[in-house]
Amino acid sequence: MMRSKVECGKLLKKPEVAVMIPKVLLLEAHNGGSYIFFQELSKIAELHFESKEGRYMEWELMEIMGPYDAIMITSQHDISSRVIDSAPKLKIIAKRGAKPENVDIEAATKNGTVVTWTPGANYVSVAEHTIMLMLCLAKKTISQMNRLKNGDWRFPDAGLQELYGKTVGIIGLGGIGREAAKLAGAFNTNILAYDPYVSKDRAEETGAKLTSLEKVLKESDYVTLHAALTEKTRHLIDEKELKMMKKGAYLINTARGGLINEKALVKALQKGTIAGAGLDVFEQEPPERGNPLLRLPNVVVTPHMAGWPEEAVYREQKEAAMEIMRVLRGDPPKHPLNPEVLEEKGWQRLTKCKLLISREERGWSYEF
């Protein structure tokens, strides 16, 4: 008996295959999925937005990471080797902002997971915050504001200063350091800089004079840190370095808390070794309530917010989302921190320029 075309069609029809939609975990994402780049990402992946007060504990991340193909993070949560091991499907860790100290890149590489960052997204924001801290210290803004709110008025011996004409020392002349130099230059400051991986010509492009760390510390009225936190730079500013600084100098840190030995800094501030400090970052974040740096009158503190203006957050999230989109579509990301993974995947075209920069050099400047 002859079968009908419909019957034959039914017999020849292939069974449907379930399509696995990639899953993306977004920690501390702003504006949820309202941004257009999140909407575009949602067309190829299932998005999960998570946020909480304080850090996720390692075990919490290990419990939830299993099904995810990608994760977007800030510096808030530690992506340890154990967390990475708990995520066998993880293809990309997209870090918003600066190079991460909170990701085990070696473990990610072993797992075949590419780690990316978003250079340039927060350069201006962090540089502006740096200048703001300098001005707050020079003008005694916080103490004067508190006096006024408590019913007092100005007094003649407040010790206010101009930033104009002072010497500013920049340690780490990467992207943010260069932006800070440009902004400081608007105050007709004399700019000194220390960075072992930057040429004299490149420094001079921003109006900075490249010199030794010792000279930066000894001659600057304001010393501002813009280096990455590595084994070589941990406690770059310790008791010895603080004693090199002028008695009336101020120390600014909008990079990483571990660049400064906080115990030595507290001692220097209490003894008057230096005049004061402006800190956006701490060795432990958030700092303990009893941390003396939160109570000293000659310290201005902010809660690691230098890179968090709306414009910077938008740029960071957009670029991180685009990196995730590229990887999930099978394309190489633009800003990998472990290009070895890309080589294994056959993405040689992208990695050639990245590999010209030594691993040590890639790790020193806060923003390269």
The tens digit of pLDDT for each residue in 148-164 reads 999 999 877 778 999 99
Whether 195 is covered by a domain: the verdict is yes
Whether 142 is covered by a domain: the verdict is yes
pLDDT of residue 237 exceeding 60, the answer is yes
pLDDT of residue 120 exceeding 80, the answer is yes
328 token code pair: 């999930």
**pTM of the predicted protein model:** 0.84
pLDDT digits (tens, 9 = 90+) for 93-112: 999 998 898 999 999 999 99
Domain of 110, in residue numbers: 23-121+310-357
Long-range contacts of 60-64 (CB under 8 A, 24+ apart): 61/86, 62/86, 64/25
Measure the CA–CA gap between 144 and 343, rounded to whole angstroms: 57
Whether 3 is covered by a domain: the verdict is no
Whether 2 is covered by a domain: the verdict is no
Contact indicator for 93, 71 with CB cutoff of 8 Å: yes
Tokens 């992207």 -> residue: 175
> Amino acid letter at 230?
T
Total domains in the chain come to: 2
pLDDT of residue 87 exceeding 80, the answer is yes
74 plus 211 within the same structural domain: no
Q: Taking residues 256-277, report their average pLDDT.
A: 98
pLDDT of residue 3: 44
Cis peptide before 286 (omega within 30 of 0): yes
pLDDT digits (tens, 9 = 90+) for 198-217: 999 999 999 999 999 999 99
Q: How confident is the model at residue 2 (pLDDT cuts 50, 70, 90)?
A: very low
Whether 362 is covered by a domain: the verdict is no
Least Cα distance to 277 among 246, 248, 300 occurs for 300
Q: How confident is the model at residue 12 (pLDDT cuts 50, 70, 90)?
A: very low
Secondary element (H or E) of residue 131: helix 123-139
What is the torsion angle, in degrees rounded to the nearest 10, for the CA atoms of residue 346, residue 348, residue 351 and residue 357? 120
Q: How high is the mean pLDDT of the chain? A: 88
pLDDT digits (tens, 9 = 90+) for 132-145: 999 999 999 999 99
91 token code pair: 């293809």
Measure the CA–CA gap between 188 and 256, rounded to whole angstroms: 27
* Catalytic site positions: 256, 285, 304
28 backbone φψ class: left, alpha, beta (φ>0; ψ -120 to 50): left
Pick from 148-157, 226-235, 238-247 the range whose average pLDDT is largest.
Answer: 238-247
Q: Taking residues 189-205, report their average pLDDT.
A: 95
327 plus 251 within the same structural domain: no
134 token code pair: 């300098």
Whether 12 is covered by a domain: the verdict is no
136 plus 281 within the same structural domain: yes
Spatial strand order in the sheet of 70-73: 46-50, 23-27, 70-73, 92-95, 114-116
Q: Give per-residue burial for 138-177: e unless 16+ CB within 10 Å, then b.
A: bbbeeebeeeeeeeeeeeeeeeebebeebbbbbbbbbbbb
Contact indicator for 191, 185 with CB cutoff of 8 Å: yes
145 plus 251 within the same structural domain: yes
pLDDT digits (tens, 9 = 90+) for 16-68: 555 689 999 999 887 666 788 999 999 999 999 988 777 889 999 999 999 99
CATH number at 50 reads 3.40.50.720
pLDDT digits (tens, 9 = 90+) for 283-326: 999 899 999 999 999 999 999 999 999 999 999 999 999 999 99
Contact indicator for 179, 203 with CB cutoff of 8 Å: no
